[in-house]
């Protein structure tokens, strides 16, 4: 919806990802009043548990699970942090 005239439609003029890559900034133009406005679209990662409950994705939970699995092995904290980041980027 156009924030100025409340027209239900708009046209995307420009799209860019933010510097951190977690959201998309879109410049839009209303076909009715021709005014431009900005929208920011974000995506939140959610995990569906076996019980059916959903919760936000947690990189720290991934890292702690891998840390437990690698207990007694020569795995550095830096390697675990990199793995957690790669998992989040892949998802």
Stated as kind and residue range, the H or E segment containing 56 is strand 54-56
What is the pLDDT of the chain when averaged over all its residues? 91
The per-residue pLDDT for range 20-63, each reduced to its tens digit, is 777 899 999 999 999 999 999 988 888 999 999 999 989 899 99
Residues 6+ apart with CB under 8 A from 86: none
Q: What pLDDT is recorded for position 7?
A: 95
Backbone angles phi, psi at 11, to 5 degrees: -115, 135
Mean predicted confidence (pLDDT) in 10-21: 89
Q: What pLDDT is recorded for position 19?
A: 78
- What are the domain boundaries of the chain? 1-43, 45-91
Q: What pLDDT is recorded for position 13?
A: 96
Contact (Cβ atoms closer than 8 angstroms) between residue 62 and residue 84: yes
Residue 9: is its pLDDT beyond 90?
A: yes
Three-state secondary structure call for residue 29: strand
């Amino acid at each position: 919806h156009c924030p100025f005239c409340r027209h239900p439609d708009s046209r995307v003029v420009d799209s860019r990802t933010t510097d951190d890559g977690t959201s998309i900034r879109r410049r839009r133009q209303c076909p009715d009043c021709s005014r431009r406005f900005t929208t920011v679209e974000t995506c939140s990662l959610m995990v569906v548990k076996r019980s059916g409950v959903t919760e936000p994705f947690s990189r720290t939970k991934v890292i702690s699970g891998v840390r437990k699995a690698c207990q007694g092995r020569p795995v550095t904290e830096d390697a675990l942090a990199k793995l957690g980041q790669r998992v989040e980027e892949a998802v």
